[in-house]
Amino acid sequence: MRCLSSCLIAAPLLLGSTLTALAEPDPNPLPLLTGYYVAEGSDCETGNDSSLALVHVAGINPPGQLCTFDTLEAGAEGAWSFTSLCADPEGGEDRSLSGRITIPSPGVFLVEEAAGQAIYSYCLPSRLPPPYNG
């Protein structure tokens, strides 16, 4: 009986926090760190618009594009298929991308799509040049 009163008090608190946690969406659907990633063959210290991709909660912005996922489906371990709607930051036409993302570790990903493939590695903000380090 000793637990009865304390369990009755604790149960709603535990259930409430569990339900709240279950109701909140996962902030990043991919097992990747959010932030800037540099293309293979480039380094973080000299990263720029042509070599950096930005992983954010709604998608991955390849160099020179602003993209959000339309669909994202987990496949085999570490692989995801996607379609994204991408806007041209210069005001050009929107376009759709589709392909596959393979994630061998939280700080590295390979993206394969119609235009080709690229490997990106995570950059610590402190290693990036302005304006990417702020």
What's the CA gap between 101 and 109, in Å, rounded? 7
Question: What pLDDT, on the 0 to 100 scale, is given for residue 27?
Answer: 59
The tokens for 55 are 């992983």
Radius of gyration from C-alpha coordinates of the chain = 20
Q: What is the mean pLDDT of each run of 10 residues along the chain (134 residues)?
A: 38 35 56 94 95 95 91 91 91 91 93 94 96 88
What does DSSP say about strands 95-105 and 79-87: parallel, antiparallel, or unpaired? antiparallel
Q: Which domains, ranges and CATH numbers included, belong to the chain?
A: 26-127 (2.40.128)
Question: What pLDDT, on the 0 to 100 scale, is given for residue 76?
Answer: 85
Total residues belonging to the chain: 134
Residue 117 sits at φ, ψ, to 5 deg, of -135, 155
